[in-house]
Structure 1
Amino acid sequence: MVKDFGGVRGGAAVRGVNLTIAEGEFFSLLGPSGCGKTTTLRMIAGFEEPSGGQILLHGRNMVGVPANKRDINMVFQSYALFPHLSVADNVAFGLRRRRVPKDEIHDRVDRILHTVELAEKADHRPRQLSGGQQQRVALARALVNRPRALLLDEPLGALDLKLRQSMQLELKRIQREVGITFIYVTHDQAEALTMSDRIAVMNGGLIEQVACPREVYERPATAFVAGFIGTSNLISGRLTTAGPEGGVIDLGDGQRITVPPSGAARTAGSDVQLTVRPEKITLTSGPAGDASRLRGTVSEVVYLGTSTSYTVATSTGAEMTVFQPNDGTASVVPGRGDTVWLSWATAHSYPLGATPAAPATSAAADRAVPDSGSLTPS
């Protein structure tokens, strides 16, 4: 799927999106501002028409179908509630416009208000509710119509951090209970990791990786994904030795980086790029273990509550970030200017580009990506 605005808004916002989204899945589009995630969502909703490709909803092409004729609802960051109507009347608004029988309206509104835990607020006006409660009313109003898919465009962006974190768990609970496909747009990495069955990481109108949260975090497909999802140390080097069991970058003076085997053929002299997560690294006063180890000087120490972040200038010239838990188990607690050794297991040196950026299996179902340039909530 492609969207090119031409000269009106700077050209192609979406340069090629090819996804299959399973029924009942919580699927997130994650990326920085301007990466094309909201444009993709708007094309699914029918607010924008794609310049090329298809949008299939249960096998039916939605391209050219008006937004109000698609069996899809959308929830925005602004709740757009009617201030003069009660919570129940806000939720019932769409059903009344569709001339659903009164008894059915009452039953469906009552059921969905119980699902979002707002049954006792049915007679309240929106101004009497907290931000999180208003968000749940907007969600109930969308879900009461029983859409095949619900689209959410950064719906928690207006909430404070504590309420936002609480609502993340609430949204996931509600999604599991109603069983409707959620397609969620966010730029918040932690939010996507917390809520999603699978995540599509977007950059520059393209998808860099589609996978379950653990796969995206532990095995990023590209340098962009490694840097965008959490904190990561990127290391480049040339293999001194290589074989079926992996390889070694020998830096001399007892320093080395061990590289695990991968699907890509590697020989001595090959250049590789690796990513290592900060929490996978251990700080010691001397070289430890037979795997990766580097020497460096602590240049910055930041207390983060549950952990402490250390910035270490290594002897290779690269800076490494290390997260050490504040649970009393650390072998050393260095200060700024101290010399330390960094060590980590071979398995935690993940080679970038070792696997293709293709969908991974989630708990929802096994999925294959079609070759038709389509985006399909199936």
Structure 2
Amino acid sequence: MATDTPAAPPPRSPGPAPGRDPAITLVDVVKDYGGARDGAAVRGVNLTIGQGEFFSLLGPSGCGKTTTLRMIAGFEEPTGGQILLHGRDVVGVPPNKRDINLVFQSYALFPHLSVADNVAFGLRRRRVPKDEVHDRVDRMLHTVELADKADRRPRQLSGGQQQRVALARALVNRPRALLLDEPLGALDLKLRQSMQLELKRIQREVGITFVYVTHDQAEALTMSDRIAVLNGGLVEQVGSPREVYERPATAFVAGFIGTSNVLSGRLATAGPDTGTLDLGDGQRVTLPLPDGATAGSPVELTVRPEKITLTATPPTGHASRVRGTVEEVVYLGTSSSYTVRTAAGAEMTVFQPNDGTATVTPGRGDTVWLSWATAHSYPLAPAPSAAPLPAPGPDSDAALIPR
């Protein structure tokens, strides 16, 4: 059942990782395309991205991640708030004065130029000396492992190689930050997975701040130092890949990243550190006590499918245990997925490895017990609410921008 907990205020982003100075800071950034609440694409975003960090903006289509990236780049102006690049407010500063580059999903390479000339294009426009152009292009082509293809035309390269040329062209200008808008979206699955590792390697070698937009959870988990999960123009959680997966802050984050089981109810007991949902007939769920919760408080929690143990009889040793009936079994190769309908009517998913360690391999219709440790019950916070939208100024052109 749903809780009656009020919405939380939009969270402030934690600072960059230890040892990293802030490179990009967003303070209460709003983008309103229509002057009305339903026209706000970004509704009070606060982020701090560290120098040299690989930072991902993750969320579904329409959540505001690309709009946020375009505001950092200067292609969109915020309705309200500040955007700081290395401490300097750049709201109103044109894109070519921001010392950042943007890489799109489309490669936009010049078909009539060689790989080397494509990479050198920006340097030559800036009238960089010829010898320096040659040295910088050569070093960058070695970084992206395309030095042996310097004389080829883009049409002679694979999709992944073309993407690396686009990346080299952006990096050779030595920007202080590189923004990437779903750059791997046009690649097939195997090539995309390979390029994820390549991108991370390149970022680590050049040491430049990367801000990466994606809707692919696995992609963000694979490459990122930290991830901001966006939903409806708001940031619901910022953390390392392990933090957002292992300890999702809200029900949306739990459901969007990986597979998760979300349970809700009221606390039957509340001790100093843990609380209990009493489901009757020997069934219960224990969880770390949320801040301020007492007996009778509504709570919502999540447990990941791989944290759950299946047994045919009531388990011992685990504080949480729930009885149910297996409705579906799916073989996934390294594991099997079980869909279990609990006695209370909730649907839960359980992943069990196919490595011979399972104590039971139930079939459809079998009664099973699900159990897990208290530490694997993660209390969920309410979804954040939006900050009030600023009133448009007399010179605002918000009403002229199509939704």
TM over 0.5, yes or no? yes
Equivalent residue for 2:292, pick from 265, 279, 282: 265
Residue in 2 that maps onto 1:129 = 157
Pick which of 216-225 and 175-184 moved more. 216-225
Q: Which range is displaced more, 285-294 or 340-349?
A: 285-294
- Distance in 2 between the 1:214 and 1:356 partners? 21
- Is 1:222 paired with 2:246? no
Q: Distance in 2 between matches of 1:52 and 1:270?
A: 37
Are the aligned partners of 2:69 and 2:213 in contact in 1 as well (CA < 8 Å)? yes
- Is 1:182–2:198 an aligned residue pair? no
Counterpart position of 2:125 = 97
Once the two structures are superposed, the pairs formed by residues 135-154 of structure 1 within 5 Å of their partners are 135-154=163-182
Matches within 5 A, 1:23-38: 23-38=51-66
One-letter amino acid matched to 1:275: T
Matching residue of 1:366: none
Change over 3 Å in CA distance of 1:355–1:30 after alignment to 2? closer
Distance (whole Å) between structure 2 residues aligned to residue 188 and residue 257 of structure 1? 31
Q: 1:158-203 CA deviation, whole Å, 9 max, x = no partner?
A: 0011110110000000000000000000000111111111111001
Equivalent residues of 1:243, 1:266 under 8 A apart: no
Is contact 2:251–2:383 with CA below 8 Å preserved after alignment?
Answer: no
Number of aligned residues: 356
- Alignment-mate amino acid for residue 137 of structure 1: V
**Are 1:80 and 2:80 an aligned pair?**
no
- Matched residue type, 2:310: L
Match for residue 64 of structure 1? 92
Q: Which residue identity is paired with 2:308?
A: I
Specify whether residues 337 and 4 from structure 1 end up closer, same or farther in structure 2 by C-alpha distance, changes over 3 A only: same
Displacement of 1:266 after TM fit?
2.4
Identical counterparts, % of pairs: 85
Distance in 2, matches of 1:356 and 1:11, equals 18
Establish whether residue 242 from structure 1 lines up as the match of residue 270 from structure 2: yes
Residue correspondence of structure 1 range 185-196 to structure 2 within 5 A: 185-196=213-224
The partner residue of 2:74 within 16, 39, 46 is: 46
CA contact (8 A) 2:101 2:177 kept: yes
SS state of the match for residue 57, structure 2?
A: strand
CA offset at residue 89 of structure 1? Answer: 0.3
**Alignment TM-score, normalising by the size of structure 2:** 0.86
Kept in 2: contact 1:282–1:343 (CA 8 A): yes
- Displacement of 1:356 after TM fit? 9.3
Please, which of 275, 283, 307 is the counterpart of residue 280 of structure 1?
Answer: 307
Contact 1:296 1:340 in 2 (8 A): yes
2:56 touches 2:220 (CA, 8 Å); kept in 1?
yes
Contact 2:109 2:154 in 1 (8 A): yes
Alpha-carbon contact 2:267-2:297 (below 8 Å) kept: yes
Aligned to 1:114: 142
Deviations 1:308-346 (A, max 9, x none): 111000101000000111111111111111111101001
Which structure has more relative contact order (CA 8 Å, sep 6+)? It is 1
Cα RMSD after superposing both structures: 1.7
| Alignment deviations for residues 232-277 of structure 1 (CA, whole Å, 9 cap, x no partner) | 1000122221110312112121111112234x12222222111000
Moved over 6 A (4+): 7-10, 354-357
SS state of the match for residue 15, structure 1?
strand
Contact conserved, 1:238 with 1:249, CA < 8 A, in 2? yes
Is the Cα–Cα contact under 8 Å of residues 261 and 305 in structure 2 kept in the other structure? Answer: yes
Q: Does 1:295 align with 2:323?
A: yes
Report the CA distance between 1:85 and its aligned residue.
0.5
Matched to 1:265, the amino acid is G
2:381 maps to a residue whose letter is G
Q: Which ranges of structure 1 fall in alignment gaps of 5 or more residues?
A: 358-378
Is the CA contact 2:115–2:151 (under 8 Å) kept in the aligned structure 1?
yes
Gaps of 5+ in 2: 1-28, 386-403
Counterpart for residue 328 of structure 1? 356
Following superposition, the deviation at residue 7 of structure 1 comes to 6.8
- Equivalent positions of 1:335-354 (< 5 A) are 335-353=363-381
The residue type paired with residue 358 of structure 2 is A
Following TM superposition, by how much is the alpha carbon of 1:355 offset from its aligned partner in structure 2, in angstroms? 12
